[in-house]
Chain A
Amino acid sequence: MRNTLRRAFLAVGTVSFTCMLAFAADAAGDAPVNFQRQVRPILSDNCFLCHGPDQGTRMADLRLDIRTGAFATRKDGVVIVPGKPEESLLIKRVFAEKAAMRMPPAFSHKTLTQEQKDILRRWVAQGAPWKDHWAFVAPVRPALPDVKDTKWSRNPIDRFILAKLEANGLAPAPEASRRTLIRRVTLDLIGLPPTPAEVEAFVKDTSPDAYEKVVDRLLSSPHYGEQRAHYWLDAARYADTQGLHIDNYREMWPYRDWVINAFNKNLPFDKFTIYQLAGDLLPNATLDQKIASGFQRCNVTTNEGGSIPAEVDAMYAKDRADTMGTTWLGLTVGCATCHDHKFDPISQKDYYSLTSFFRNTTQYALDGNVSDTPPVVVVPRSEDRKSWDELTARRHELLNTLSGIGTGQSNAAFEKWLQSSSRKRAAKFPLASSQLLAVNLEKDAALVRRGHQKGLTLPAAVTLGEGPSGLGKALVFSKETEVSLANVPEIDTDKPFTIAMWVWLPRDDQGLVFARQKDSKKEGDSSKDWGWTIGVERYNTEPQVPTIHLNGADGKSLTARPSADYALKAKKWYHLTFSYDGSRNRKGLAIYIDGSLVPSYGDGSDFPPLESSIRATSPVILGTKDKEGFDQGAIADFRILNRRVDELDAKQLYEADALQVAAKQKVPDLTATGRQALLTYYTAQVDSAGKKAASELHKVDAQRMEIALRGSTTFVQQERTDTQPMAHVLYRGLYDQMREEVHPNVPSVLPPMPASVPKNRLGLAEWLVEPSNPLTSRVTVNRYWQQVFGTGIVKTAGDFGSQGEPPSNAELLDWLAVEFRESGWDMKHMFRLLVTSAAYRQSAESTPLKLERDLDNRLISRGPRFRMDAEMVRDYALASSGLLAPKLGGPSVKPYQPPHIWDAVAMDNSNTRFYKADTGDKLYRRSLYTFWKRSAPPPSMDIFNAPSREVCVVSRERTNTPLQALVTMNDPQFVEAARVLAQKALLSSQSDLNGEVNYLANHLMARDLDGKEKDIVGRSYQDFLAYYQSAPQDAEKLISVGETKADPSVPAPRLAALTMVANELLNLDEVLAK
């Protein structure tokens, strides 16, 4: 048997162990060959590269991946003649004597073994039964198989498992001990060890449903969501930094908390899917649904100098399509980036159709190196959520009220006012009472109103030109000219203000300043200036965008700018309004273009608020004396107000010129613009309901801002409304090699999108959870299986395609998949099923027979036992010592980390260049809250195979390396945990070594040590003690590791010795394995 086995290993490479057993058995006789499990993998692995779905590399016009190709008649014969291997070209070529004729050819570096050839021949001889690839056929609930042992099964899972075991001549292992069981199930469901009290309670509970009660308790624990989330966040590639280049902080944790809560609330998986792929597209999307759409914003982004936005956009869309493909479809769709998929029937066109779902986003390619790259949403603190929602709803109502004035029933009143003489009052600037300064230019005279300077002398090089409205004039600059306005000292950090103007830019490829007020500590060194600056900035070849900087005297600054989507074009008038609310926070800055608010971002939000003053006593300068200056540029209607403005105000600023003209015109002469300006004025200043609403809106906005400043932001997805999703096929995946235009659609090999769903992300999400979808349910339950049993029923959890491994128990997978869907996508139900099965409850002990026939435990001939994940290893130490801070959610934290992990790799100007560990509780939070810098992940997590969170990962690797031993032996986190636990043991056991050691064992292993173990541990304790008594200074050093302090009442040598014992036990295979 062993020899046969070994040959099989040699032969088949990646094919599963179960499968090999089948080979071994088949080799002896004429047992029916299983096409799905035995034949298709051979064809796929060896033939599809040249005779598969990719038409670009297909040879001899032959396809072996589809039935019509495999049974085709060709000029030299028939590829496969069922029942007649000797007449089948396939068999002839595979067995060809001459190397030149033999398939696969030498250049492919593939060879078929004798066994593989025999399988093909026998399959053809048996009639060559052909089936479509199993994973593309929707699962149907299979009947429960018959089993000999009718007593063992506890639920349907067990029938499928037992049937396989019996077929392989194996019997299940006995049920694990209660101690093992509660430890295992607690770790699987909440990722933490059970407390000794929980263990004892379960051991003593004699009720028949004692175990089920434990399971229910764990499923309702808030830690359940944390444990589930850490797997999901791997798929979502969640992290706390951008990932590329400067790798700055990204505020994204509200998404992580949403995931945890979704699991805890047991959000049905169909909704879980829809919210994350398209929460933003749901009608009246809630804040939570929008936060969920952050799934798509977790990808790595860049702002690297020189990046080409079109290339970066293509990269993001690819990442999103690949992530969706891996996570829900279990398909390597990304293989079709450069060419048709080599193995699965996914054409390049199919692939780019998938990417098109994700390309119609308002997100701009370059992330701006900020923590809140739009689109983002404000996430109020939980205690503010209610008022935030109320205020938001109220704001909506007020805006409706405002936009309703002058229309419908209230139209008559407006018309009446239009006819009245009081309309003339509108000629006066409506926000005049807030005005600090205005530059109005009429006819040939420059006039400054309400400023501190009445007249204005223009330098000769500044002329008056045509203004935007034809009414007022504009200042037209030439090289090296500027206009100086008297001091406006009211502008300061703690005061709200607004600056508005019309600008006309001569070029669209320059960055320039066109208004500023700055004091300088040192002439010529602008880094020491303070004040404010308004201009346009451009990033490399990016278009120019309006920007405001507030610079404090201490060198800190606030900046706001919109993305390049809001770039200003040359030779066109724009009205710009920059508003600041005096909050010292970047979020208090707002930019309006032509009266409309534009989403803006910029530096400052990651730093403490701007503390110092920006107040400058110098004049306000328009234009610039730089060499090129604002040559041929123009500014008109420049105003400074002493308050922040809202949308209605900004609109009035924008329409001020038009209003002046319209106020004096006769009704029949009014232009549409003039009429609109009058309506805005009427709404804001005349109509009583309007005035009331406007004033309330102002207050509501102020209250919302207070909440926003207390709260957080998180990245969301947002669909563009001005374009429809589309993409181009990119030749060889190159962003600038655009070919055919494609539109959102799903791969043709899968069921089509129903006509009822929209062709956008929402439709895609709904299609994923349609009952006809053959993959989503299977792929998802397979990962649940993997979490609990270590390996998926399909081992290649991210590849259910042709090259993926066939399921080790196809019927079980299908049963679970159907059960999941029919349960209403009830995730907790599935976990309850898994952990209450008899299969799960087996002891992990192995036998020689099991090691021979089921080495990897793919048949589940014993209970699952494998090394815990990175997070679990650390959380285990924290929890068992009692150090764990059980708080849920919130911003990520920075526990101990060796020095120079970040700054050894970071860019000088990265805001995650230096790692500063937190203190107090934040050192002891669960590991999924550890701050994740992508270019330098937390080393202890990395060493234990946590994925880097750069790309979607759906199954973790589990290696065993010496570096891991070094972590659990020497990382201060583990040393401190050992000491804290040892101290508790000493304080609880009153100088009884036996009691102390058992205290440790019960906290770490959920059991007492047996006699032999006690002896081993006890002897090591005595040796440690002897050492530390002889070297008390070393004892002091050891017990000083970590931020918590050792209890001075405990003798240092004893504590040190027992700390080493705890360290010893913490490193046991039994402890590190679940």
Chain B
Amino acid sequence: MKLTDQALLTETRRQFFGRGARGLGSLALFSLLNESASAATAGKPAFGGLPGLPHFAPKAKRAIYLHMLGAPPQMELFDYKPGMEKWFDKDLPESIRKGQRLTTMTAGQTRFPIAPSVFKFKQYGQNGTWISDLLPYTAKMVDDMAIIRTMHTDAINHEPAVTFLQTGFMIAGKPCIGSWISYGLGSMNQSLPTFVVMNATHSNPKANVQAISARLWSSGFLSGQYSGVALRSGGDPVLYIGNPEGVPTKVRRRMLDALGEMNEIQAKQIADPETQVRISQYEMAFRMQTSVPDLTDISKEPESTFKLYGEDARKGGTFANCCLMARRMMERDVRFVQVYHRGWDVHGLLPEVLPSQCKDVDQGSYALVQDLKARGLLDDTLVIWGGEFGRTIYSQGKLTPTDYGRDHHPRCFSIWMAGGGIKGGVVHGETDEFSYNVVKDPVHVRDFQATILNRFGIDDARFTFKFQGLDQKLTGTEKKAIVVKDILA
């Protein structure tokens, strides 16, 4: 064994055995070791990841998280409240609101007039689950989904709420779910990023759009290699993946060969283990240059694909296209895909804007789950759909029978999950008749996070990273998270 290899192995083991993979770039190091400890239990070759993980047999190996940024109104989609019609324009009873804090957008309102949903609901599936007419495709698959109606959060505004949902903390600086999972379980392929993020376009220019930012897919205090890599619809799908114009693959390959030879000389002279790491990272980059275009090239998808996902899926950047990309990434064993769709912040014009928002995402979401199922991938792929909080039953601003808006509401909201060890045809939890407070089976954000980790075979309490002297966890250090057992398959 060469001297540097020996040093590398020592270093690699050291990373395994406790100090975390923070110091050196380790992806390539691990690849030198072939499979990591997590590989054996996961049944898939994995690169990187922590020893001892997963803690128990995982149900999910991959996940797709479809985030509706801006917060969809639960009472218009999944949390049917037929009793509200007779409450039209009546004030929300104080016994329900209980003087809780409101955002400053409605805190100044003198009245809190109830706005019943203008949309109709029907029953679907074996359980007769009520789903809004706005989601005809989603409605068809209720037997695949577990709907949680009793999500609740600590944050009341978008920035802190989505940061909280993703990182367990309202202020930036902590790793997001995708980063935690990449860090813990490592990668299952050697030519694509482990964790990919996409930002889908929305179609209605009147939709009220919320900002997103790199902090939502940041690795926080974990190593930068666990950050989400943006897959983009315009320009290079992965930043800088394309060679400059006039540099074909064979020229790049030739350049890399010479570069490698030169770096080998340096590695021998200086014996800095980092040089070896760099050599293998350039090789990985080259593999990505081939596999990313292959991933994004949908020209060979059959017509049936576009029947399933809709014609929108042909157009880069649409939600349907992102769903198709997500499926293609699942096939290639990308570990975690995050999709953001914006425009759900319905403070006003709700009856006008919400239908187009739903139309943007409905078919794609359905197609994704069905496609994964058809390909046998749904069993070990977790799909999640939801926003960062709910919305108020009372109207923000002027209420008419045909127009209203809804303010932020942290006390309850609905999300659904499917596949990856989640029981289908389940509705979990109950809210009161105003969809205002949880009356049965509340699910806090940290419980939700713990449930996701659990499906990956991870016990959130034992999945820690030492930072600022604390054993940091996705689910925070304040209260114990409770896995939502009722929805587990």
Residues of chain A whose beta carbon lies under 8 Å from any beta carbon of chain B: 2, 5-6, 9-14, 44, 109, 244-247, 300, 302, 304-309, 315, 332, 334-335, 338, 342-344, 509, 540-542, 732, 736, 798-799, 801-804, 844-848, 851-852, 855-856, 865-867, 898-900, 904-908, 910, 934-937, 939-940, 942-943, 945, 948, 950-951, 957, 959-967, 969-972, 975, 1012-1013, 1016-1017, 1019-1020, 1023-1024, 1027, 1031, 1033-1041, 1056, 1060, 1063-1065, 1067-1070, 1072-1073
CB distance from A104 to the nearest CB of B (A): 12
B203-225 vs A, CB cutoff 8 Å, 1 = contact: the mask equals 00000011111110010000111
Q: How far is the CB of A952 from chain B (nearest CB, A)?
A: 10
Q: Which residues of chain B have C-beta atoms less than 8 A from A1065's C-beta?
A: 262
Instruction: Name the CB-closest residue of B to A1015.
Output: B261
A11 to B158, CA, bound (A): 42
The residue from A802, A966, A1060 contacting B288, defined by CB atoms under 8 A apart: A966
Contact residues on B (Cβ < 8 Å of other chain), bracket: 35 or more
5 contacting pairs across A/B (C-beta < 8 A)? A14-B19, A308-B104, A940-B240, A961-B27, A962-B282
B207 to chain A, nearest CB (A): 10
Q: Which residues of A have CB within 8 Å of B254?
A: 1020, 1023-1024, 1027
Judge whether B171 is part of the interface by a CB distance below 8 angstroms. Answer: yes
Complex CA gap A844/B270 in Å reads 6
B468 partner, pick from A803, A844, A936, beta carbons under 8 A: A803
Cβ of B108 under 8 Å from chain A = yes
Residues of chain A within 8 A (CB-CB) of B57 are: none
A1041–B211 touching, CB < 8 Å? no
Inter-subunit contact B239/A963 (CB<8 Å): yes
Bound Cα distance from A486 to B489, whole angstroms: 78
B22 within 8 A of A: yes
- Among B101, B272, B478, chain A packs the most CB atoms within 10 A around the CB of B272
Q: Is A342's CB under 8 angstroms from B244's CB?
A: no
Mask of B232-264 contacts with A, CB within 8 angstroms, 1/0: 101110111111111110111011011101110
Q: Is the CB of B10 within 8 A of A1063?
A: no
**Is the CB–CB distance between B282 and A867 below 8 Å?**
no
Q: 6 new A-B pairs (CB below 8 Å) besides A937-B214, A1069-B275?
A: A11-B18, A306-B157, A960-B25, A960-B278, A960-B281, A1069-B274
Binary interface profile of B, 145-164, with partner A (CB < 8 Å = 1, else 0)? 00000000000111100000
Distance, CA A966 to CA B256, complexed state (A): 12
A972 to B235, CA, bound (A): 13
Chain A residues with CB under 8 A of B20: 14
When the two chains form the complex, which single residue of A5, A247, A804, A898 contacts B236, counting CB atoms closer than 8 Å? A898
Residue of B nearest to A108 (CB): B471
B225 contact from A906, A939, A959, Cβ within 8 A: A959
* Selected contact of A307 from candidates B104, B247, B263, CB within 8 Å: B104
Contact A307 B270 (CB under 8 A): no
**B262 in contact with A799 (CB, 8 Å):** no
- Knowing A1016-B258, A1027-B251, the reply to whether A972 touches B27 (Cβ < 8 A) is no
Write out the residue numbers on chain B whose beta carbons fall within 8 Å of the beta carbon of A959. 24-25, 223-225
CB-CB < 8 A to B244: which residues of A?
A: 970, 972, 975, 1037-1038, 1041
Instruction: Say whether B466 contacts A14, CB under 8 Å.
Output: yes
Contacts of B107 in A (CB 8 A): 540-541
Closest 7 CB pairs of A and B: A803-B469, A960-B25, A935-B213, A306-B103, A1038-B246, A1037-B246, A1020-B258
1/0 contact trace for B8-29 toward A, CB 8 Å? 0011011001111011110110
B215 touches A948 (CB 8 A): yes
- Is B277 located at the chain interface by the 8 A CB criterion? yes
With the chains together, A1037 CA to B238 CA distance in Å?
21
Within 8 Å of chain A (Cβ to Cβ): is B470? yes
| Closest residue on chain B to residue A1018 by CB atoms | B258
Q: Does B399 contact A (CB under 8 A)?
A: no
Chain A residues near B272 (CB-CB < 8 A): 844, 846, 865, 1069, 1073
Among B27, B108, B242, point to the contact of A540 (Cβ < 8 A). B108
Given contacts A966-B288, A1013-B265, A1037-B246, contact A961 B209 (CB under 8 A): no
Q: How far is B252's CA from A44's CA once the two chains are assembled, in angstroms?
A: 52
Nearest chain A residue, comparing its CB with the CB of B21: A959
* Centre residue among A847, A948, A963 by max chain B CB count within 10 A: A963
Q: Which partner residue on chain A sits nearest B283 by CB separation?
A: A962
B261 touches A966 (CB 8 A): no
Separation of A449 and B281 alpha carbons in the complex (Å): 81
B59 within 8 A of A: no
Given A541-B107, A855-B10, A1016-B261, check contact A960 B215 (CB 8 Å). Answer: no
Contact A804 B469 (CB under 8 A): yes
CB contacts (< 8 Å) of B224 on chain A: these are 943, 945, 957, 959, 961
Say yes or no: B7 contacts A950, CB within 8 Å: no
Question: Does A1056 lie within 8 Å of B469, measured CB to CB?
Answer: no
Asked whether A900 lies within 8 Å of B235 as measured between CB atoms, the reply is: yes
The answer on a CB contact under 8 Å between B240 and A969 is yes
- State A803–B14 Cα separation when bound (angstroms): 20
Please judge, given known A-B contacts A541-B108, A844-B272, A1016-B258, whether A855 and B278 are in contact too, CB under 8 Å. Answer: no
- Whether B199 sits at the interface, judged by CB under 8 Å, is yes
A964 B281 Cβ-Cβ under 8 A: yes
Shortest beta-carbon distance from A385 to chain B in Å = 37
Cα A1020 to Cα B157 in complex, Å, equals 56
A961 engages B214 (CB within 8 Å): no
| A960, B24: Cβ atoms closer than 8 Å | yes
Q: Are A966 and B240 in contact (CB under 8 A)?
A: yes
Q: List which B256-306 residues lie within 8 A (CB) of chain A.
A: 257-259, 261-263, 265-267, 269-275, 277-279, 281-282, 284-285, 288-289
A304 and B159 contacting across the interface, CB-CB below 8 Å: yes
Which residue from chain B places its CB closest to the CB of A803 in the assembled complex?
Answer: B469
B455 at the interface (CB under 8 A from A): no
Chain B residues within 8 Å of A899, by CB: 234-235
Kindly state whether residue B172 has any CB partner on chain A within 8 Å. Answer: yes
A1038 surroundings in chain B (CB, below 8 A) = 244-247
Cβ of B229 under 8 Å from chain A: yes
Q: Does B464 contact A (CB under 8 A)?
A: yes
* B440 interface hit (Cβ, 8 Å): no
CB distance from B398 to the nearest CB of A (A): 12
- Given known pairs A9-B17, A332-B469, A935-B211, the reply for A1068 and B263 (CB within 8 Å) is yes
Task: Let me know if B105 and A305 touch, CB within 8 A.
Answer: yes
Q: Whole-angstrom distance between the alpha carbons of A935 and B284 in the complex?
A: 28
Complexed CA–CA distance, A70 and B215 (Å):
43
B262 touches A851 (CB 8 A): no
B315 contacts chain A at the CB level, 8 A cutoff: no
* B247 proximity list for chain A (CB < 8 A): 1034, 1038, 1060
Is B3 positioned at the interface, with any CB of A under 8 Å from its CB? yes
With the chains together, A588 CA to B162 CA distance in Å? 40
Q: Which chain A positions have C-beta within 8 A of B236?
A: 898
B488 within 8 A of A: no
B120 cross-chain contacts in A, Cβ below 8 A: none
Distance in angstroms from B97 CB to nearest chain A CB is 16
Cβ-defined contact, A855 with B214, below 8 A: no
Cβ B171 vs Cβ A315 within 8 A: yes
Distance in Å: Cβ of A1030 to nearest Cβ of chain B: 11
**In the complex, residue of chain A having the shortest beta-carbon distance to the beta carbon of B345:** A305
Q: Which A residues are CB-close (under 8 A) to B461?
A: 109
> In the bound complex, do residue B213 and residue A905 qualify as a contact, i.e. CB atoms below 8 Å apart?
yes
Asked if B444 lies at the interface with its beta carbon under 8 angstroms from chain A, I say no
B367: min CB distance to chain A, Å: 24
Picked from A509, A950, A961, A970, the residue with its CB within 8 Å of the CB of B25 is A961
B408 within 8 A of A: yes
Contact B240 A970 (CB under 8 A): yes
Contact partner of A1016 among B241, B262, B278, B282, CB < 8 A? B262
Which positions 97-138 of chain B face chain A at CB distance < 8 Å?
101, 103-105, 107-108
Identify the closest chain A residue to B156 (Cβ).
A306
A1035 to B464, CA, bound (A): 52
User: What is the chain A residue whose CB lies nearest that of B466?
Assistant: A14
For B263, list chain A residues within 8 Å (CB): 1068-1070
Residues of chain B lying within 8 A (CB to CB) of residue A1013 = 262, 265
- A335→B470 contact, CB < 8 A: yes
- CB neighbours (8 Å) of B248 from chain A are 1027, 1031, 1034
